[in-house]
Structures are given as C-alpha cells and as structure tokens.
Structure 1
C-alpha cells in the first residue's frame, strides 16, 4: 500500500463533491473551520455545482475535479464535502496511474466508500474514513480533531478505544489490515468490477438508518459472498444513527445472529462515519490490532509517510 504524505501546518486541501450536491453555507462553514485548524482549503471548480437530479454536477465535472486535485502538485490533501449518492458513477473513468503517481490524503465516508474501495484495489492507496467539510467540519463538535491529527498529521502508532465509543460485543484479539466503510455501499459493490478484495484483517462497517433485520441481511450477504472468510476481527460503528436507544439491544442480537459462526472478536460503537458528533478519522489499508479481551482498544501502526 502507498502511504500519502502527512499533512503539515498550512497544507492546501482540495474540497471536492464526488457525489451529491452540498449546501453552500455548510461548505463555507466547514472551510472556515479548516482554516481555523491551520489549513488552506481550495474549493475545486465544480464542488458547489448542482444537478442533474441530486448530483454535484455531471460525472465529467466530478471526475475532473478529482483528477485535478490529485495532479496539482500544490495540493496536499483532498476532503469531500458530503456523501449522498453518486461516487460509484465515477469509477469507470478514474485514472489509477495518475493517482498512484500523485498519492495524497483522501478523506470521506458514506457514499465515498466506493472511492475508498477503488483507490485501494486499483491504486494501492491508503485513504481515510473521516469527517467531511459540509457534513462534519461545518459543526463545532462535528469532527474529532485528535484522531484527525493522529491519523493524517502523525506517522507513528496510535489508538482509539472506550473513550471513542468502542465496546466489546464478542471478546478476543485480532491483528491485520484495517479496511471497510459504509455497510450498504460495501454490499452494493459485490458482483461488480469494483468488488473489494476480501479482507484478511480487521473489517470496519457502519451505516445510517439501517434497521436490525437489514444489518442481519447484509452481513449474511457478506458471508455468502465470501467476504468474511478470512476476516480476523470486526469493528462496527456507532449505531445511534441506525436505531433508537430502545432498539439497540435488538440490533446487537441481530448482528450476533448473523455472525453466529464468526470466530474472531467483534466490537461495536466506534464513533466514525454517520455519527451525531465527534467523527473519528480512521485509516483504511494499514496494519492494526484489535484487543477486546479486556478494555476495548484498536491500535493503528502508521498511515502517512
């Protein structure tokens, strides 16, 4: 895997919208927050485009913004405005050689799981499941700065655990490459040319508005597709955006039912992706260690060069 360069103070961050159109006021608020953190956000030409339908402009413009951001040597990192739907449309038109030749920090979640999968599979690039401009940085408590700095600005080992919401659903210890993203987008990629390489490490899955039976169904789909055959451990996200508090127990029982024959440890509650506040930045494609034997802990061993 190719490690992007760490972001330094004053880094220039390209702001892109590969999927749905973002609200101008939220993008502006998010960019202001990034400036307050010492970065120079650079709004790409079509980042605020709208249409057709709910997209941030046509495919050609969204692809052009991504390619320009990677090719521009003055740009240090790329952050998406929001998710929604649309990133998968870009996949046939992305230039793997261009991206491999210009590796940079790329941050997003939700619909951008399709881009994370593509960048790992075809460009071998470590990417980041983390806060977006309009969705998270626009809110005072939307992004977890500590994990952002550890993942993207540092270079050594670091960890998340109980303080970040992680707790034990099934105990155990596992090691391997950390990968994953939004459950529904991950499942929808199966059977396409963009199916992810089956994980042989720690698989992270999260989503929004996904009911217990839907988690059960989609985890079964992953099992039948062979995606869990070599997985050593599973980390699930914060479920408060999926079901209300009174359904949390049912959701956890549905998950354990779907994973009845999974031998490795299973954690739940990690606050990354679709969360109410404090969105964590998690590196995808790096070595990790999941320890659910006592106090829940997830270690990462460097994600940037």
Structure 2
C-alpha cells in the first residue's frame, strides 16, 4: 500500500465533484473553512458543473478533473465536495498507472466508497474516509478538526479514536489488521462486479444514512453469503443517528447482532465518521489498525 505524503501548512487542495452536483454557496463556505485552517483550496473546472440528471458534469468531465488533480504536481491533496451518486460511473475510465505514480491524499465518503475501493484495489493507494467540502466543512461543526490534523496532517506515530468519537461496544474482543470499508450500501452494491472490495485479515468499517434495521440485517447477510466477511477479524459500525430515530436504535442494534450472530470477532458501533450530524471524524483506509473492545473502546491506527 502507498501512503501519500501528509498535508503541510499551505498545502494546495484540489476540490472536485466525482459524483452529484454541489451547491456553489456550500462549496465556497467549505473552501473558506479550509482557508482558515491554513490550506489553499483550488476549485477544479467541473466541480460546480451540472450535467445530465443530478451529476456534476459528464463522465468524461468528472474523470478529467480527477486525473488532472492527481497529475498536477502543485496539488498536494484532493477533497470531494459531496457524495450523492455517480462515482461508480467513473471506474472503467480511471488510469491506475497515473494515480499510482502520483499518490496524494484523497478524502471523501458516501458514494465515494466506490473510489476508495478502486484506489486500493487497482492503485494500492491509502485513502481517507472523512469530511467533504460542501457536506461538512461548510458547517462550523461539520468536521472533526483534531482527527483531520492527526490523520492527513501528521507524518508519523500512531493515533486512536474511542468513546469521545462515539465508539461503543456491541460485542467485546480484540482484533488487528488492515482497516477498510465505507458506506454500507455502496460497499454491498460493488459485490459481484469487477470493482468488488477485497477485504481480508482486517477490520471492516461500515456506515450509512437512512438505512433501517431490516436493511442492515439484509445487507450484512448479503456480505456473509458473498464471502466478504470470511477474513474479517473485527467490525466497526458508524453513528446510527442518521439511520433511525432514537426510539429505534435498540432494534437496530439487535438486528445487527442477529445478522452477525456467527461472526467470531469484536463489533463496535457509533463511530462518528461519514454520515453524521456533526464532528465528522477522518479515518485511514488501508492502514494497519487494532480494535480493542475488551474494556474502554479503542481503535488505534499505525503508520508505517
């Protein structure tokens, strides 16, 4: 796995929209927040485009922006504006050799799970599941700045998340391995395609929005039947407040435990990354990690 260089003060960040169209005012608000954090955001040509249907431009335009962001030697990192739908359309046209030769910080979540899976599978690139420009940085409390700084702005050592970032114990235990995952629905939809995830001997992270208890149950069962959980040592699930109301949280947890009743490893829940109301935590996909749910919940990432 190739880990891109950390973002230093003054780093230039390409702002791209690989999926759905973003609102210009939210993109500008997010860029202003990034400027206040010491970065130089660079809006790429089609980041504010509105193409057919709900897309941010045509497939060719979105691919061109992504390729240009990786190829531009003055760009240090790439941050998506928002998710929506559309990233999977780009996969057949992405240049693995170009991306592998120009490794850079790539940040996004939701629909961009497709890109995270592709970049790991075909380019061997470590990527980052974290806040986006219009979706999170545009709101004062949208991004967890501490984890962002620790993950993409540091160059060595280990870092961890735990109860302060929402992590709770559903099933105790300890596991180690490569950390991977993303949005549940996008992850599941990739199974059976040439762009299917390859999770083995690792820790799987899954989160989503608007996903009801029976849908979590159904999709986790699908992952089991597809063999996607065969090598998984531990599972971390995201913050569920964007999936069901408070009164349904207990039902959701029971549905998850039912779906994972034959899973031998530890299971955590509540980690605030991805579709969250506030404080979106940045996580490293492709990094070595250790999940300790034997007491105080702790997920530790190692750089190497």
Inter-partner Cα distance in structure 1 for 2:81 and 2:200 = 28
Tell me how far apart the structure 2 counterparts of residues 241 and 37 of structure 1 sit (CA, whole Å).
Answer: 27
2:195 maps to 194
* Runs of 5+ unmatched residues, structure 2: none
CA deviation profile, 1:40-81 (whole Å, cap 9, x unmatched): 000000000002000000000000000000000000000000
Is the counterpart of residue 211 in structure 1 residue 189 in structure 2?
A: no
Q: Distance in 2 between matches of 1:252 and 1:200?
A: 24
SS at match of 2:52: coil
1:146 match: 146
Aligned twin of 1:69: 69
Separation in 1 of the partners of 2:7 and 2:207? 26
Could you tell me which residue of structure 1 aligns to residue 16 of structure 2?
16
Aligned pairs for 1:13-162 (under 5 A) are 13-154=13-154, 155-162=156-163
Is the 2:180–2:199 Cα contact (8 Å) retained in structure 1?
no
Task: Indicate conservation of the 8 Å contact 1:173/1:264, yes or no.
Answer: yes
Aligned to 2:222: 221
Partners in 2 of 1:302 and 1:157 — Cα distance? 6
- For structure 1, the residue ranges without an aligned partner over 5 or more in a row are none
After superposition, residues 225-240 of structure 1 pair within 5 angstroms as 225-240=226-241
Q: What is the CA-CA distance between 1:281 and the residue it aligns to?
A: 0.2
Give 1:199 deviation, angstroms. 2.8
* Separation in 1, partners of 2:179, 2:231: 13
Distance (Å, rounded) in 2 between the aligned partners of 1:255 and 1:200 = 21
Secondary structure of the structure 2 residue equivalent to 1:19: coil
Q: Which residue of 2 aligns with 1:246?
A: 247
How far apart, in 2, do the equivalents of 1:187 and 1:77 lie? 28
Q: Matches of 2:243 and 2:160 in 1, distance apart?
A: 25
* Counterpart-to-counterpart distance in 1, 2:266 and 2:165: 18
Matched-pair contact (CA < 8 Å) for 1:27–1:81: yes
In 2, the alpha carbon distance for the partners of 1:197 and 1:169 equals 25
Cα deviation code 1:106-147 (max 9, x no counterpart):
000000000000000000000000000000000000000000
Q: Which runs of 4+ in 1 moved over 3 A?
A: none
Report the Cα offset of residue 200 of structure 1. Answer: 1.6
Equivalent residue number for residue 185 of structure 2: 184
Tell me the residue number matched to 2:259: 258
Q: Which residue of 2 aligns with 1:283?
A: 284
Deviations 1:272-299 (CA, angstroms, capped at 9, x unpaired): 0000000000000010000000000000
Deviation at 1:180, TM superposition (A): 0.2
C-alpha distance in structure 1 between counterparts of 2:157 and 2:69, whole Å? 26
Report Cα offsets for 1:231-259 as digits up to 9, x if no partner. Answer: 00000000000000000000000000000
Q: Deviations over 1:207-230 (max 9, x none)?
A: 000000000000000000000001
Output the CA distance in 1 between the equivalents of 2:29 and 2:126. Answer: 27
Distance 1:156 1:18 in 2: 32
Task: Give the structure-1-normalised TM-score.
Answer: 0.99
CA–CA separation in structure 2 for the residues paired with 1:262 and 1:197 = 18
CA RMSD of aligned residues (A): 0.6
When normalised by structure 2's length, the TM-score is: 0.99
